[in-house]
Structure 1
Amino acid sequence: MHPPSSSSQTQVDKRTMDDEKRAAQPDQPFSHHIFENDPKSRIAIRMYFKILFMITVLITLTIWSVLSIYWGANWRFETGIHNMNGWIVDFDGGSVGATVTQAFMNNTGQKDQIDWYTVPASMFPNGESDVAEAIVNERAWAAVTIHAGASSNLSAAISARDGSSYNNQVASAYAVEARNENSYVFFVAPQIQAPLEQAVVAYPQIQAQQLGSQVNDLLTSAPNLVFAPVNYTVVNLRPFDIQVGTAIDFVGLIYMLILSFIAALGNFNARVLASGLERRLTLPRLILLRLVIPVVMYFWLSLAYALLSIYFHVPFNRRFGDAGFVIFWMLSWCAMMALGLAIEAMITILTLRFIPFFLVPWIITNVSVVFFPIEILPTIFRYGYAMPFYNVSRAVRTILFRTRDQVGLNFGVLIAWIAVSLVTIPLFQTYVRRKQVREWRRSMHQRADAHVEDPEASITTTQG
């Protein structure tokens, strides 16, 4: 092997000297390239791509594990429709009632069909008004009643050959759209109307066989008794007739959570990064600050949120009169505290770096249980009865549309979430404070040890 030439050795020495000079010089900001070949740049680039890789992995896991919850709530939901019950109440007891009942019995039993079953008319002493009240109180999703005397009235009209005073509205169907407008549009209303239409078509054929030769006479004197002897009425007991209500009981819930998240982030930045109160206050004072300030913030923000709906003329007085707006305001306040204080608690442990990975499941698990009824979703979604979004949506529907009143229960669930956060925030803050104190003491010991090992540095520092 040949020894290196003097010129190549000189170049190596020169590069070494240049590297030593660059290392000795202070690092200049705003002056480096992405693929610059110096130690600090290489370390920075490696750290950058390492963090990006870890974030990508975490986001991927979030997509597969958390977003799948919402996808699952909308996947094959129709297979759970059989969990929705429907009543058939025959106040007639004649051929009309039997035909209508049979039409519904022919349209039940499948997973994608409402579970229709007959209920004795004796259960409703006040007649159809009791049935309507039961549907509003959510004892069933829908009910079909065959009016008392439907068959006898038709027979009397046929005997008199007079169809002028005959009313062919022999059945009524009752449902509550405002209970869940999506289910009403997609399957409740269609599965009410389809069997009723079948009964409307089938009964004239059945009647024609019974009448025999009388049909010809009726075609001349009262054709309506032959061609349209039965018909029905669909009664929407609580229509979803406030379109802006969608912004309040569904999309607005997401906005409410986002606003709570922004407030929690602002509180964190003000407390930890800007003012330094996180490390300045004693633990009891810090916990008091963390519990009181968000509650006061959400009190005002919830008022601003409620006033927004007033500006767009949302009628809050339908169910509770003038107190409706105050109830909605208090509901929004409790909702913001339930949603926001949970973020306040988790940001203590997760910090700013990882709190978004709590926000995503917090949104998804709430949203997944308010679009369709929980009854038709897979069993795992029964957790939704205890979620803030579900209970806020239920209470809003009561205030705006006079649906079943469980407002007290809805407030109770929200208050339970608030109570959990009021316990976890002090616990998490105590844990973090102990960790901060240990790190501070460790750093103080290291500084003290450094001063002992280097007395000149200690003297210089003291003089400075």
Structure 2
Amino acid sequence: MAPLTSLYPKAFQNRVSKNDAMVRKARFGFLKAAGNNFIILQLLFLGLFCYVFGSLFAQTSHTHNLNILFVDYDGGAIGHAVREAYTALKGKSFPSLIERSPADHPSTADVWQAVCHADYWAAIYVVPGASDRLEEALSAGQQQTPSYNNRDVMAYVWNEALYAPTIDASISSNIQLLSNAARIAYTTGRGTGNTTTAAIISSSPSVLSVLAEPWQLESLNIQPTPQGSRAIYNTIVIVLILIQEFFYLGTINGLYAQFKLYTRLSPYRIAAVRNLNSLVYTLAGTLCVTGAIWAFKAGWDVDGGRFALCWVTFWLFAHANFLTLDVFTIWLPAPYVPMALVSWIICNVTSVLLPFELSPGFYQVGYLFPAHGVYQVLTDIWSGGCNPRLGYALPVLFAWEAVGLALSVLGVFRRCHFATLGEEVQAREFKEKLDAAVAVEVSRLHALIKLEGKKKREEEDAEKEDRGEMRGRGEAASSAGRGDVNQEEEEELEQARERQRNHVDCSFGPSFDLAFHGNNGAE
């Protein structure tokens, strides 16, 4: 204890006993407030954890909601093997294979467009004549094996830019599994046509190699997205943008409080400058975000035009969120603003963690959040227009922007109104204190004048000294009585002031200490 006392000598001075009445009252208030906040925060974060984990719960069992198109242009044994393989793999943990006739998709270009238009998550097709060419290669026996290209048999179309980590695991991997299962179904004899076991045994090594690997599944990836940073495009990038806007909002609020601008400038001017400031800030911030993505794209095939489109999209998203957070700080009580921020971040991130097909139906409420809209727009840009969901994504973003702008401007008028009321209350309190001080000084002067008169009379009449002393004591008692009355009046006045403060209470938003403190114009 001695080193601590010498290091901080004032830390133990003027301490009151733990049994003091004031301490007991403060202790009760502290425990009550701490307990209430303990319960509220625990319930809040429990709800947020359940919300996030609920969106990921039993993800694999929802894989069947992902539809894959299958078109058999060949109409032979290979297509039959694919159907057999799907029958064996079909289940909740495997994507649904939707077969369509070649008449619905006359060419492979139509299959590509079906995936590009987001009608299906992927598509598999068998090349025309593939079964005949394979059968011919297997029937060669000891003769010269005809030229056979096992890559011109079956292919699948997919877009890796859409939820890249998820689509790799749920789409690409399962299609590879389906192809391998179909190969086994084919080579076990259920689809090999006229190829007999004896013929196979007597075949040349080249025929055996064809039988061992009758085809290599060709991958036609609309937008390859193999870079490692793809895993955070729909998580940390969203979180950092939201936090970036919140902290600058706190800085702006600190500046307005420091320079007392709400009581000095026109609300129209404040709203215009405040929004212009936020537009410039979000423009520069999203340029940094987009630049960082491009700097670490690791060979990702996206050009400069897509860079500009991504920048504008991030800008719209960031500014809409700046306005939304500003609305939170205006209309919510200050203690609830951090809770609203955390909830807003979690709800937005959850809306883009997984495709809605892999989450319970309740989580389709995520269509309302701007993060889901911005991610749909970004994937459309990245894949060259192969995610045409702009019809709802852009209106959602612009709706948040419009509503946030309207409420934010209205909030400027609200802040100016209550800031002016607060100034009036402070001015009234100052006047009351000044009047009280003047009244005390006048009373003191009057008392001094009376005292001087009494002293003169006491000097003229020494015999009245005793009575003068008694009179002095009486005046002291009267003064003490006036002190008690003044104290009671002061308490009543303080209660009235507190009621006035509550009447003009308004949330001006979070305000952070500034890294740079300007003094010009500040009081």
Matching residue of 1:420: 403
Matching residue of 2:241: 256
- 1:306 Cα deviation after fit: 3.2
Matching residue of 1:112: 93
2:115 maps to a residue whose letter is I
- 1:327 Cα deviation after fit: 2.1
Contact 2:134–2:148 (Cα < 8 Å) also in 1: yes
CA distance in 1, matches of 2:13, 2:395: 59
1:111 maps to a residue whose letter is K
Secondary structure at 1:168 match in 2: coil
Residues 1:237 and 2:218 aligned together: no
Which of 109, 116, 129 pairs up with 1:149?
129
Matching residue of 1:24: none
Residues 1:184 and 2:184 aligned together: no
- 1:317 Cα deviation after fit: 7.5
For residues 93-123 of structure 1, give each alpha carbon's deviation from its aligned partner in whole angstroms, at most 9, with x where no partner exists: 1122111123223323x33221112111122
Residues 1:331 and 2:321 aligned together: no
CA distance in 2, matches of 1:229, 1:401: 32
Matching residue of 2:336: 354
For residues 50-103 of structure 1, give each alpha carbon's deviation from its aligned partner in whole angstroms, at most 9, with x where no partner exists: 332232222112113233211111111223222210111101111221111232
1:123 maps to a residue whose letter is D
Which of 253, 260, 266 pairs up with 1:268?
253
Bigger drift between 374-383 and 38-47 goes to 38-47
Contact 1:175–1:237 (Cα < 8 Å) also in 2: yes
- 1:438 Cα deviation after fit: 5.9
- Report the structure number with the largest CA radius of gyration: 2
- 1:304 Cα deviation after fit: 3.3
Change beyond 3 A, Cα 1:314–1:159: closer
Contact 2:320–2:400 (Cα < 8 Å) also in 1: yes
Change beyond 3 A, Cα 1:32–1:128: farther
Contact 2:164–2:230 (Cα < 8 Å) also in 1: no
Matching residue of 1:9: none
Matching residue of 1:132: 112
Contact 2:246–2:325 (Cα < 8 Å) also in 1: yes
Secondary structure at 1:370 match in 2: helix
Change beyond 3 A, Cα 1:137–1:214: same
Secondary structure at 1:113 match in 2: coil
Runs of 5+ unmatched residues, structure 1: 1-27
Residues 1:390 and 2:372 aligned together: yes
Contact 1:264–1:340 (Cα < 8 Å) also in 2: yes
CA distance in 1, matches of 2:206, 2:284: 72
Matching residue of 2:148: 166
Secondary structure at 1:122 match in 2: coil
TM norm structure 2: 0.72
Matching residue of 1:96: 78
CA distance in 1, matches of 2:13, 2:261: 36
Residues 1:70 and 2:52 aligned together: yes
Contact 1:182–1:372 (Cα < 8 Å) also in 2: no
Residues 1:303 and 2:284 aligned together: no
CA distance in 1, matches of 2:287, 2:201: 71
Change beyond 3 A, Cα 1:157–1:311: closer
- 1:132 Cα deviation after fit: 2.4
Which of 356, 361, 377 pairs up with 2:359?
377
Map residues 196-211 of structure 1 onto 2, 5 A cutoff.
Answer: 196-205=179-188, 206-207=190-191, 210-211=194-195
Which of 292, 304, 312 pairs up with 1:322?
304
- 1:310 Cα deviation after fit: 4.8
Change beyond 3 A, Cα 1:43–1:427: farther
2:129 maps to a residue whose letter is G
For residues 411-445 of structure 1, give each alpha carbon's deviation from its aligned partner in whole angstroms, at most 9, with x where no partner exists: 44322211111111133444455555666667777
Query: Would you say how many aligned residue pairs link Structure 1 and Structure 2?
Result: 428
Contact 1:334–1:411 (Cα < 8 Å) also in 2: no
Change beyond 3 A, Cα 1:282–1:78: same
CA distance in 1, matches of 2:192, 2:388: 50
1:139 maps to a residue whose letter is D
1:105 maps to a residue whose letter is T
Identity %: 21
- 1:329 Cα deviation after fit: 2.2
Secondary structure at 1:106 match in 2: helix
1:291 maps to a residue whose letter is N
Residues 1:277 and 2:261 aligned together: yes
- 1:201 Cα deviation after fit: 1.0
Change beyond 3 A, Cα 1:292–1:42: farther
Bigger drift between 303-312 and 261-270 goes to 303-312
Change beyond 3 A, Cα 1:223–1:300: closer
For residues 26-49 of structure 1, give each alpha carbon's deviation from its aligned partner in whole angstroms, at most 9, with x where no partner exists: xx9984548644455445444443
CA distance in 1, matches of 2:351, 2:205: 57
Matching residue of 2:34: 52
1:72 maps to a residue whose letter is G
1:63 maps to a residue whose letter is F
- 1:452 Cα deviation after fit: 9.2
- 1:194 Cα deviation after fit: 1.9
CA distance in 2, matches of 1:365, 1:34: 47
Contact 1:99–1:199 (Cα < 8 Å) also in 2: yes
For residues 166-185 of structure 1, give each alpha carbon's deviation from its aligned partner in whole angstroms, at most 9, with x where no partner exists: 23342212222221112223
